[in-house]
Structure 1
């Protein structure tokens, strides 16, 4: 299909989430505050893991990758949303929209595969502790992290490219930020075949990591049952609980968004849930991992002490 010049030359209209009423100004201020917390928290986690050599282990390497993904995820949508709101502009170009779709969707996919990798890492650490240094060597960890980035981005490339090949009708209005379901609604093309392919791709992208996570933690639970000491139980629980909390929050939010009946949905609810899904979900990650982890707390105190002594 030949590309239509209109596809490139006409911008999309982002309707936005907030108006200029006092209530929405307050909510927008809260959004910026949450963005600041997420940005600073994930940046701090990345820097701590990089600066402290005692955190140069597979688990913290994967955690730094998770923080980087969360950091990129919030920067994909919030700055453009804030710029449009503050400037009064509500347009986004096709190229910007395709880029936002690719980054937003791929980063969510990358996180799913990275959680599977992190679950596998805990499985090896607990079930095969003597072989752990060989099975999770720096080279293998690098390949697993790279695989998470690559696999998470595969079907998103199709979504981004398809943005340029669809024809769009009417006002070209998008509710909040660019995501592919919003474009399918305003497309003039028959998208039924594409939606079916996209559905099965999404199923694979979600189910495959979940199977790995369930299988890994099933083996971990079995191994924990055979640990005699209460101290051993506590150590394993502390190691795995943070990861399970983050995974549970993410998939709980996913189920809430996508498993609700259509009759229970409204445009306003979908907008607010999308904000929660994009902004609030990454926020607890650095808090959970830092507040529940003595090694991270120790690294933070060490960096602070170095900063004070250097002044």
Structure 2
């Protein structure tokens, strides 16, 4: 179909590293290893939380949700990235491209909100320990998790409803996956409303939760300093440190990618950030929690011991 001098886009070419064929094989193996570690690490976290009763607490309920999210987020793009490494003309249909961009957006928003919920959980546990089991009872935890998914769904739906109706011109996307920002650059019509809603959404799911997390950890830090037991302070800093590390990595890359002016971003820069944000970050979460968290390490030892004895 032709309108003026512009042809409507029905498929896209994901450029990726196709301009650097000598690097594609090495890139494939690196991404494959990272993906395997992501699947194994997050699946192991989920398994330990299910089988070990000592991990049946709100903190680890939310951590299992985070691990499930990381598996979904990584799987939404990594298999396609690896497949495209060996295709001379890596194409993706218009509908698949849109689906991938909105699924990734929805999962990313959910993770932003879930990390804020996890910060609230740590705040209640440390600042109000006597009422922790009452405030963070099972029903409340489920409601907070469901609310994170529901809010992300409706915020993503708003992007779907106002999406550009026509994409035209060239169909080369200098990226590994379909990102909503890159698709907007191909729109024939005015995208100011889309960009404004994306900015508002980014502020709501990145800046507001991040400020909430910072305020929460300021209160937590003051409360920890009043703990008389050195062992208690160490345990509090250990559990909070793991979460704060994940928050710093996730929010740092997400803010850099979504809050900077589009005029200042470059395609190569966006590609590198997207690979770290969508491929590497889901792998880091289980590593951070397993290496820094004594409860997870203890659950792993108990599970291995029971398996060996059986």
1:70-219 alignment, distance < 5 Å = 70-163=70-163, 165-176=164-175, 177-219=177-219
Superposition deviation, residue 187 in structure 1: 0.7
Distance in 1, Cα, partners of 2:84 & 2:60: 36
Contact 1:101–1:160 (8 Å) recurs in 2: no
Name the counterpart of 1:28. Answer: 28
* Secondary structure of residue in 2 paired with 1:254: helix
* Secondary structure of residue in 1 paired with 2:76: helix
Superposition deviation, residue 265 in structure 1: 4.7
Contact 2:35–2:78 (8 Å) recurs in 1: yes
Contact 2:168–2:186 (8 Å) recurs in 1: yes
- 1:64 equivalent in alignment to 2:64: yes
- 1:268 equivalent in alignment to 2:263: no
Distance in 2, Cα, partners of 1:27 & 1:81: 10
Superposition deviation, residue 153 in structure 1: 2.5
- 1:238 equivalent in alignment to 2:238: yes
Superposition deviation, residue 260 in structure 1: 6.1
Distance in 2, Cα, partners of 1:18 & 1:40: 29
Name the counterpart of 1:227. Answer: 227
Distance in 1, Cα, partners of 2:243 & 2:74: 20
CA 161–88 in structure 1, closer or farther in 2 if over 3 Å, else same: farther
Superposition deviation, residue 246 in structure 1: 0.7
Superposition deviation, residue 178 in structure 1: 1.0
* Secondary structure of residue in 2 paired with 1:86: coil
Superposition deviation, residue 80 in structure 1: 1.5
Superposition deviation, residue 170 in structure 1: 1.6
* Secondary structure of residue in 1 paired with 2:77: helix
- Segments of structure 1 that go 5 or more residues without pairing to the other structure are 1-5
CA 153–199 in structure 1, closer or farther in 2 if over 3 Å, else same: same
Contact 1:17–1:272 (8 Å) recurs in 2: no
Distance in 2, Cα, partners of 1:257 & 1:212: 20
Deviations 1:242-289 (A, max 9, x none): 001110112222344356677875422321221111111121110110
CA 117–37 in structure 1, closer or farther in 2 if over 3 Å, else same: same
Name the counterpart of 2:48. Answer: 48
Contact 1:290–1:296 (8 Å) recurs in 2: yes
Query: What is the TM-score when the length of structure 2 is the normalising length?
Result: 0.90
Distance in 1, Cα, partners of 2:170 & 2:259: 29
Name the counterpart of 1:282. Answer: 282
Deviations 1:37-69 (A, max 9, x none): 111111111111111121111000000001111
CA 225–58 in structure 1, closer or farther in 2 if over 3 Å, else same: same
Distance in 2, Cα, partners of 1:160 & 1:271: 23
Deviations 1:62-105 (A, max 9, x none): 00001111111110111122223334452212221222112111
**Runs of 4+ deviating beyond 4 Å:** 258-265
Distance in 2, Cα, partners of 1:276 & 1:135: 36
- Segments of structure 2 that go 5 or more residues without pairing to the other structure are 1-6
* Secondary structure of residue in 1 paired with 2:13: strand
Task: Calculate the aligned-residue CA RMSD, in Å.
Answer: 2.2
Contact 2:59–2:118 (8 Å) recurs in 1: yes
* Secondary structure of residue in 2 paired with 1:168: coil
